Amino acid sequence: MTRLYRAAAIAASLISLVGLTACGGGPPSDTPSPGVSATTEPGATASPTPDPAPAANLDGTLFFLGVGAAGGIYYLHNNTLTLAISDASFGFYQSATMSPDGQKLAWILADSAGGTGQLRVQTYGGGTVTIGPATINNGYTPQWSADSASVIVGYGASGWGRLNVTSGMITPMPSAGGCCFGVFSPDGAYAILRNGLNTSVVHADGTSPVPALAPPGQVFSRIQSLSPDGHHVIAALKAAGSPGGDAARALGANAIVDTVTGAYVPIGDGGELRGGFYLADGNAVIRVIIGGADRVRLVSPAGAVLDEVIVPPAAVNHLLLGYAP
Q: How many whole angstroms separate alpha carbon 77 and alpha carbon 11?
A: 10
Q: How many whole angstroms separate alpha carbon 38 and alpha carbon 233?
A: 14
Q: How does residue 39 score in pLDDT terms, banded at 50, 70 and 90?
A: very low
Closest CA to 230 of 208, 254, 255, 198: 208
Q: How many whole angstroms separate alpha carbon 107 and alpha carbon 138?
A: 9
Q: How many whole angstroms separate alpha carbon 65 and alpha carbon 319?
A: 5
7: amino acid identity, one letter: A
pLDDT in tens, 272-289: 999 999 999 999 999 999
Q: What pLDDT was estimated at residue 32?
A: 39
pLDDT in tens, 222-245: 899 999 999 999 999 999 988 866
CB-based contact 122:165 (threshold 8 Å): no
Residue 264 has pLDDT above 50, yes or no: yes
User: Residue ranges of the domains in the chain?
Assistant: 3-324
Q: How many whole angstroms separate alpha carbon 206 and alpha carbon 184?
A: 11
Q: Give long-range contacts, CB 8 A cutoff, 24+ apart: 177-181.
A: 177/209, 180/140, 180/154, 181/140, 181/152, 181/154, 181/206
Q: What pLDDT was estimated at residue 325?
A: 83
Q: How many whole angstroms separate alpha carbon 274 and alpha carbon 324?
A: 19
pLDDT in tens, 40-60: 232 333 334 444 444 578 888
What CATH number has the domain spanning 3-324? 2.120.10
Q: Residue 135: enclosing H or E segment and its boundaries? A: strand 127-137
CB-based contact 247:257 (threshold 8 Å): no
Q: What is the DSSP letter of 312?
A: P
268-272, 281-285, 299-303, range with greatest mean pLDDT: 281-285
Cis peptide before 54 (omega within 30 of 0): yes
pLDDT in tens, 73-131: 999 998 899 999 999 999 999 999 999 999 999 999 999 988 999 999 998 878 999 99
